């Protein structure tokens, strides 16, 4: 989650101060096992909400104050509907889960309607040109995104145990919506991934020899079985090269790869390939889905691979198939 001007600052908060509003917020976020990015986002919007109203405590503010803040975001700052909805989610969490205020007017505040936009999709030729300009680990990551349809966050948080190289499958844990799913692993990436994991294993063994703290484990499992973080199966498929402090605990450990580093490499490759379309990691996911449907795979199969809850979400790719608008042949061409 990002704010309108970019990314959130990365301060560490090992132990939230229960005496402060933000400390209480962070504690409630962690009790519910929300991600650190969600914690950062919620804290950012609550801080901004309080500052907008001159430092007044949220308990002393009413429905008009909340609506005024959201209107200011939309009208003065012209934030996207998704950003406005993120701010609303943070403030609803503040009132209901942190302050314990069940206020009838909260339920009457509606989320901003997000415009329905067609996804940016690369042609097969554009995808080849882009991937040809990416090498090393970032090149492997880009090919994995395009070849599997994973989200960027799903890829960088992959664990070794979830790579089924022999069966050509990848198990994606706790994806969007908290559900697990399985996707295809391209045969052409099996050997490159084996070689990559051999190099990562060397890094893993060095960490164990240095007795470094284990990698971070998901939620409650980390409390039940903290020693699992020292096992090879739980290690990151794409770890960072350096050791860094954990933003929540302050423990110096090895984290997974950085999203921004990969995104910068992808953007640089797109420029070198001369692509005029805006290319992001999600563009690779859109291209994966569209090219599968172009190849004749049914929409239900694509829906399952992408992890969409509703097939209507997957149907948007029928509008960008490489056969003209809605697959119609223009009368001029006849």
Catalytic residues: 151, 176, 282, 285, 308, 317
Give the integer Cα–Cα distance in Å for 8 and 162.
30
**DSSP letter (8 states) at residue 64:** H
3-class SS string, 134-188:
CCHHHHHHHHHHHHHCCCHHHHHCCEHHHEECCCCEEEECCCCCCCCEEEECCHH
Collect contacts of 126-135 with beta carbons under 8 A, ≥24 apart: 126/273, 126/275, 126/277, 127/284, 127/287, 127/291, 129/273, 129/274, 129/275, 130/266, 130/269, 130/270, 130/273, 130/275, 130/279, 131/269, 132/273, 133/269, 133/272, 133/273, 134/265, 134/266, 134/269
């Amino acid at each position: 989650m990002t704010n309108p001007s970019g990314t959130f600052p990365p301060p560490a908060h090992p132990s939230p101060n229960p005496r402060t509003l933000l400390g209480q917020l962070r504690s409630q976020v962690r009790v519910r096992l929300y991600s650190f990015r969600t914690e950062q986002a919620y804290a950012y919007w609550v801080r901004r909400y309080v500052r907008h109203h001159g430092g007044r405590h949220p308990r002393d503010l009413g429905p008009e104050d909340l609506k005024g803040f959201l209107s200011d975001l939309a009208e003065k700052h012209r934030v996207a509907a998704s950003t406005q909805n993120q701010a609303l989610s943070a403030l609803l969490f503040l009132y209901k889960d942190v302050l314990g205020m069940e206020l009838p007017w909260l339920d009457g505040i509606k989320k901003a309607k997000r415009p329905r936009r067609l996804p940016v999709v690369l042609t097969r030729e554009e995808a080849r040109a882009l991937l040809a300009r990416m090498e090393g680990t970032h090149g492997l990551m880009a090919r994995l995104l395009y070849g599997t349809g994973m989200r960027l966050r799903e890829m960088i948080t992959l664990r070794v145990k979830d790579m089924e190289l022999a069966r050509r499958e990848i198990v994606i844990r706790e994806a969007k919506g908290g559900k697990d799913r399985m996707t295809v692993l391209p045969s052409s990436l099996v050997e490159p991934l084996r070689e990559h994991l051999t190099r990562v294993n060397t890094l893993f063994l060095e960490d164990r020899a240095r007795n470094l703290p284990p990698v971070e484990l998901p939620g409650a499992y980390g409390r039940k079985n903290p020693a699992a973080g020292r096992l090879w199966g739980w290690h990151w498929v794409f770890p960072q090269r350096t050791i860094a402090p954990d933003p929540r605990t302050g423990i110096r450990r090895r984290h997974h790869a950085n999203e921004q580093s990969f995104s910068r490499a992808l953007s640089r490759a797109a420029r070198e390939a001369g692509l005029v379309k805006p290319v992001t990691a999600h563009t690779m996911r859109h291209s994966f889905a569209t090219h599968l449907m172009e190849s004749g795979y049914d929409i239900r199969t694509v829906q399952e691979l992408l992890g969409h809850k509703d097939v209507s979400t997957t149907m948007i790719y029928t509008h960008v198939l490489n056969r003209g608008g809605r697959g119609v042949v223009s009368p001029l061409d006849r």
